[in-house]
Structure 1
Amino acid sequence: MEHQRYLLRWLGAGLCALLLTGCVGRVIPPEPHSLTEPVDIYLLDHGRHASLVLPREEGGVVRYSYGEWRWYVEGRRHLPAGAAAMLWPTAAGLGRGVYPEIDSPGQFHRLAPEGLTDIYPLQAEAVRVIALRRRLDRHFERADGEPVPSDEFGLEFVPHPRGYSAAHQSNLVVARWLRALDVEVEGSSWLSNWRVTMP
C-alpha cells in the first residue's frame, strides 16, 4: 500500500510539472504547393484527448482514436487505473467510426459524442492519407473477435498491439499519425494542447 501511495505521488508530481511547462503541440501542415492531390483532414481536440478524421474514397469520413482499453472501452476511470496506465504499459485500443453521411466539419458534433473543444482543418497528400487509413484499418481486419462498440465515444474498439503508457498515449499517437501524413508536430502534444501554424 505504501508503495502504491508513493507511485501515485510520483505520478501527480510529474503531471503537475507537465501542466506548469504549458506543453503545446505545434502543428505545421505541408506547403500547399507541395501537394499534388490535396485532401482535407481534421485534427479533433476533445479537451483531454484528440482524434483524427480522414476522408473516405466512397464518400463521408472515418474517425480514428487511440486510448487505454480499461479507461476508454471499459469505463474504469478510477485513480489506480489511471496511475497504472501512466506508470507501465497497459492494454490499449484503437477506435474507429465510419460516417458515410458526414462530409463537413459543421456535422462533426454528430461523430464525437464526448464533445469537441476545437476542430483543426488541415490538408495532406491523398496517397499518404490512403496509406494511413489502410494501415489503421488492418488492425480491425486482423482483430480476434468483434469490435467493441462505445456509445460514449461513437466508436468501435479493437485491441492495439502496442500498450498504452505515458510515452505512448492517445495524443502522442495522433501526433504520429499526423507525421505519417507529412504534417510536422513540434513541441509536446501530451496534454492535447494544439496550435496550428500555416506554412
Structure 2
Amino acid sequence: MSIFRRISLFFLVILAIIGLIAGILLASPAIIIPPVEPVQPVTAYVVDVGLHARLVLPDEEGGLVQYAYGDWHYFALHQQDWGSGIAALLIPTQGTLGRRKYQDIAEFKQGIGNHITVLNFAVSGVQAKKLQKSLEQRFQQNMNTQVFNPVNQMNFVKDDMEYTIYHNSNHELVVWLEDLDCRVEGFVLLANFQVKSS
C-alpha cells in the first residue's frame, strides 16, 4: 500500500470517528435539572418546536409569556431560504428576541398544538418573575424594531446579542434556565431537552 493510500485511509478513519462522535452528541439529550424545593414554586415550560426550543413563564396578570431567541432574518422575518439558513449557521448575524402572550394555560395548549413536545417543571416564583421582568425589559428596549410573524404568531424585536452557531436559540435557553436555578447537563446544539425526574 502506497504512502498516499495510507494517509488517505487514515484521514477517512479520523473523519468517520469524528462523524460518529458528532452523531452521538447530537442524538444525546441535554438534561434539565430543576431546582430542588424551589421557593414559591411556579411551573415553567420548555417548548420544543424542532430545531429550536422556547421558554414559557407565568406573567403578573395570571397568563403565560413565551420567549424565544433566534436569527432575525430566519426566525423573525421568516426568510428561511438556503442563504439565510447558511448565514445563520456560519457567520454572526442579527439576533432577535421573540415574545407571545397567552391568557391562560388552555390558550397556551391550544396555541402549541399536539405535535410539539412540552416539558414542564417547578422553579422559584421569585426567580421566574425576575427572569420574566429581565426578558420583558430586553424586549421593550428595541420596540422600535418590532415585527409580527404570522407563521408562529410571535412578536419579534432585534436583540443586542448576535446569533451564532456557538450561541443559538438553545444556548440562550440554557442561560435562561440557569437564571431559574436549573442546571443543564449534556451537549446543547439542537432542541433535544429532557427533564430529570426526581
TM-score, normalization: structure 1?
Answer: 0.82
2:191 aligned with 1:192, yes or no?
yes
- Aligned partner letter, 1:103: I
Contact 2:142 2:158 in 1 (8 A): yes
Which of 54, 73, 78 is equivalent to 2:76? 73
Measure, in 2, the Cα distance between the counterparts of 1:15 and 1:154: 37
Contact 1:90 1:163 in 2 (8 A): yes
Measure, in 2, the Cα distance between the counterparts of 1:68 and 1:16: 28
Report the equivalent of 1:112: 112
SS of residue matched to 1:70: helix
Report the equivalent of 2:53: 50
Measure, in 2, the Cα distance between the counterparts of 1:28 and 1:196: 6
Max radius of gyration: which structure?
2
Summarize the Cα distance change of 1:191–1:19 in structure 2 as closer, same or farther, 3 Å threshold. Answer: farther
- Aligned partner letter, 2:179: A
Report the equivalent of 1:5: none
Report the equivalent of 1:177: 176
SS of residue matched to 2:144: coil
Measure, in 2, the Cα distance between the counterparts of 1:99 and 1:144: 19
How much identity, in percent, do the aligned residues show?
A: 31
Cα deviation 1:104-133 (Å, max 9, x = unaligned): 5xx4343337x7531111111111111111
Report the equivalent of 1:160: 159
Contact 2:145 2:158 in 1 (8 A): no
2:145 aligned with 1:142, yes or no?
no
Contact 1:41 1:124 in 2 (8 A): yes
Summarize the Cα distance change of 1:171–1:16 in structure 2 as closer, same or farther, 3 Å threshold. Answer: farther
Summarize the Cα distance change of 1:109–1:40 in structure 2 as closer, same or farther, 3 Å threshold. Answer: closer
Report the equivalent of 1:9: none
Which of 90, 95, 112 is equivalent to 1:92? 95
Summarize the Cα distance change of 1:23–1:83 in structure 2 as closer, same or farther, 3 Å threshold. Answer: farther
Contact 1:44 1:116 in 2 (8 A): no
SS of residue matched to 1:111: helix
Measure, in 2, the Cα distance between the counterparts of 1:124 and 1:175: 14
- Aligned partner letter, 2:68: S
SS of residue matched to 2:181: coil
| Offset of residue 142 of structure 1 | 1.2
Summarize the Cα distance change of 1:116–1:134 in structure 2 as closer, same or farther, 3 Å threshold. Answer: farther
Summarize the Cα distance change of 1:156–1:128 in structure 2 as closer, same or farther, 3 Å threshold. Answer: same
TM-score, normalization: structure 2?
Answer: 0.83
Which runs of 5 or more structure 2 residues have no equivalent in the other structure?
1-17
Aligned residue pair count: 180
Report the equivalent of 1:26: 31
Summarize the Cα distance change of 1:77–1:43 in structure 2 as closer, same or farther, 3 Å threshold. Answer: same
Instruction: Decide which moves more: 35-44 or 20-29.
Output: 20-29
- Aligned partner letter, 1:117: I
SS of residue matched to 1:133: helix
